[in-house]
């Protein structure tokens, strides 16, 4: 009897191992099908090296293994619809992203010199951070300020950009600005795959150590993108950073007075800009302005559509849209969620 029980126990271990490998491959296949669908949906290329970093844990651990799996399995049609090879156009966009990064690195600290004591971190986001910028695309920034300093910092930044030299400068967009308390609360509860990817590829210009400390406190980022997180974690370590004291009383008072005026101006300006974009047939570039005392954000229609599609890849495995079917078959366009009232633009130069 003891020998039989031992044999049974020994026979179950390989089954458990195979079952675990199958589950891991299923989870990776689900993520692959959704990511390739997103690439096809928005007309972008996604290199295999990048695709591998976006997968959950599983048996596909190297680029050759991923390539073999894609070329020999049922995802091959998706691979053809969303090419992963590096193209000459991608080389051009990478060079442009490098130029834009150098522009930000050389000019932004000087622009913000007078208000830097009120700023915790400034990071570059969007296509420049992803390393594949497109002609005409904005240079996007995410900023965290000390509590009470958000609107004074924004006011100073807008005035400096308007009065400063414009020669050869790209369009700068401070499309996400939060004070410290708001940022920590916002980042602690978000659980969005697109948000996690944006945070991990963002490139700090000011306050890199602080930014890394804030991001390390967000466990959901590691859970959603463990491989990309591990690569990001190879950067410098420091901290932890306790919250700083709020901005001086005079700055906070200025912020309280400036908030309703600047917020109203930005809402009206946003409506005018969006009307011009719609009249010019540039619907994907329209946006909505979010103005709160502790947060300012410009959310483009293109970004919100991308976030809605990415949401499918953020769902728990048991609630995926094509649960119950073969996980290696990509979802149809109709099966992918989309934001209400939004349709595919047919073009995309980079997430965010």
Lowest-confidence segment of 32-36, 161-165, 209-213, 264-268 by average pLDDT? 161-165
- Residues 109-130: what's their mean pLDDT? 92
Give residue 306's pLDDT.
82
* Residue 290 clears pLDDT 90, i.e. is over it: yes
DSSP string, 84-153: -S--HHHHHHHHHHHHHHHHHHHHHHHHTGGGGGGEEEEEEEHHHHHT---TT--EEEEEEE-TT-HHHH
Lowest-confidence segment of 98-102, 228-232, 331-335 by average pLDDT? 331-335
Which tokens go with 30? 């689900």
Helix (H) / strand (E) containing 172: strand 172-179
Above pLDDT 70, what percent of the chain?
72
Calpha distance 62→158 (Å, rounded): 46
Q: Please report where in the chains the tokens 């949906």 appear, as a residue.
A: 41
Cβ atoms within 10 Å, residue 5: 9
More confident residue, 59 or 330: 59
Q: Please report where in the chains the tokens 């945070």 appear, as a residue.
A: 199
* Residue 308 clears pLDDT 90, i.e. is over it: no
* Residue 344 clears pLDDT 70, i.e. is over it: no
Above pLDDT 90, what percent of the chain?
41
139-145 and 287-292 strand pairing: unpaired
Lowest-confidence segment of 106-110, 134-138, 159-163, 329-333 by average pLDDT? 329-333
List the one residue out of 100, 102, 172 whose CA is nearest residue 143: 172
Which tokens go with 79? 């691979």
Give residue 227's pLDDT.
94
Q: How does residue 251 score in pLDDT terms, banded at 50, 70 and 90?
A: very high
Q: How does residue 284 score in pLDDT terms, banded at 50, 70 and 90?
A: confident
Q: Give the chain's domains with CATH numbers.
A: 88-305 (3.30.460.10)
Highest mean pLDDT among 83-92, 123-132, 174-183, 341-350: 174-183
Q: Which residues contact 42 (CB under 8 A, 6 or more apart)?
A: 306, 344, 345, 347, 348
Which tokens go with 174? 């401070």
* Residue 10 clears pLDDT 50, i.e. is over it: no
More confident residue, 98 or 333: 98
Give residue 220's pLDDT.
92
**Greatest extent of the chain over all pairs of C-alpha atoms, in Å:** 88
Mean pLDDT of the chain: 78
pLDDT tens digits along 17-47: 445 455 556 788 888 888 887 777 766 777 8
* Residue 333 clears pLDDT 50, i.e. is over it: no
Q: With 0-12 CB in 10 A as exposed, 13-18 as middle and 19+ as buried, what is 242?
A: exposed
């Amino acid at each position: 009897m003891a020998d039989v029980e031992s044999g049974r126990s020994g026979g179950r271990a390989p089954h458990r191992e195979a079952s675990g490998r199958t589950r891991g491959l299923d989870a990776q296949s689900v993520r692959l099908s959704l990511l390739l669908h997103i690439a096809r949906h928005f007309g972008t290329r996604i290199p295999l090296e990048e695709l591998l970093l976006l997968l959950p844990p599983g048996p596909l651990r190297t680029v050759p293994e991923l390539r073999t799996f894609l070329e020999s399995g049922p995802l091959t049609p998706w691979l053809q619809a969303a090419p992963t090879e590096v193209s000459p156009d991608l080389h051009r966009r990478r060079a442009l992203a490098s130029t834009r990064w150098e522009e930000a690195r050389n000019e932004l600290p000087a622009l913000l010199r007078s208000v830097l004591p009120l700023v915790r971190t400034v990071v570059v986001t969007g296509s420049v951070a992803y390393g594949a910028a497109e002609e005409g695309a904005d240079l996007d920034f995410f900023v965290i300020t000390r509590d009470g300093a958000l609107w004074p910092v924004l006011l100073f930044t807008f005035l400096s950009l308007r009065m400063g030299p414009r020669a050869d400068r790209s369009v700068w967009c401070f499309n996400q600005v939060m004070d410290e308390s708001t940022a920590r609360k916002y980042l602690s509860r978000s659980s969005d795959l697109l948000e996690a990817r944006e945070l991990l590829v963002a490139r700090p210009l000011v306050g890199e150590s602080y930014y890394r400390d804030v991001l390390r406190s967000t466990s959901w980022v590691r859970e959603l993108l463990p491989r990309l997180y591990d690569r990001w974690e190879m950067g410098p370590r420091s901290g932890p950073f306790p919250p700083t004291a709020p901005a001086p009383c005079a700055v906070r008072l200025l912020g309280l007075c400036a908030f309703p005026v600047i917020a109203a101006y930005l809402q009206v300006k946003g409506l005018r800009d969006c009307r011009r974009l719609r009249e010019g047939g540039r619907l994907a570039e329209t946006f909505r302005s979010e103005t709160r005392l502790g947060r300012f954000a410009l959310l483009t229609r293109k970004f919100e559509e991308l976030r809605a599609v990415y949401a499918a890849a953020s769902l728990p495995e048991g609630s995926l849209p094509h649960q119950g079917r073969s996980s290696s078959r990509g979802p149809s366009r109709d099966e992918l969620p989309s934001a209400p009232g939004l349709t595919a633009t047919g073009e995309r130069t980079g997430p965010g």
